[in-house]
Amino acid sequence: MSMATECGRTSITKRHLVTTVGVLTNFGGASMLDGDQRRVTFLDRVPSHRRSDLVSRGRPARFASRQVLFQQGEPGNHVYLLRTGRVKVVRIEPDGRTTLLAVRVGGDLIGETSVLDGRDRSATVTALAPVTAHRFGADEFHRAMEECRLAPDLMRYVTGRLRESDELRAEMAVLPVRARLARTLIRLTNSCGSVRGDEVWIEVSQDDLAQAVGASRNMIVKELTHLRGEALVRTGRRLVVLRDLPRLHRIATDRA
């Protein structure tokens, strides 16, 4: 992996960005520390010759930024295949805590779990930016998976997300806030980040970071202050800029 040093700190190459994000993000069921993986959406798994058929079966849908796609507790009677934009998946826990479970992007499925198991929505999904999607009723979704022969691809996609949830719960139990924050920032490079020179800009609020990390907002502010003092990040309104991804990677893998 090639890296250059500039102005006394490590410069981020695009290859290092891809490798680091892959190492720390469970995409497609790979372990978070399992090597060079990239984020795989459901649509990535669909063979190219079947994508047009799949998309044509859904009804186009659009959502404005901050619009709710569905609420936790609602019946799960439809699925969205995201095409553009991004959404956040948030769960209200029994003790009243709010947990940011994931940020999903174009190519991801939203709401498939409730359609598969017949239970109510387990989380609320809200658009973080304007979203275009295709809506499938429950019967339409099952028929599309069968007739497009996508059941194995759906199983791998759902299994990967279950593994991701398991690893996130394990992180909450054993890792310090500093390491969890570093991992969360690296994960978000895929869904909310853009490479600008040797930095990665992530559009995220401190409240959303707190929900994703499983810590108080005050704790996130404190840890971001430390990271700023170490020249690892810069912050702005709903913005965190990663300045040294290799060092953040070392923090993310430190269990001390």
Give the pLDDT score at 18: 40
Average pLDDT, the chain: 83
What band does 38 get if pLDDT is binned at 50, 70 and 90? low
pLDDT, mean of residues 9-15? 40
pLDDT in the model for residue 35: 36
Question: Tokens 């469970």 — which residue?
Answer: 26
* Entry pTM: 0.73
CA distance 88 to 28: 19
Percent of the chain with pLDDT strictly greater than 70: 84
> Which pLDDT tens digit goes with each residue over 155-197?
999 998 888 888 888 888 889 999 999 999 998 887 778 888 8
Q: 41-88: per-residue pLDDT in tens?
A: 999 999 999 999 999 999 999 999 999 999 999 999 999 999 999 999
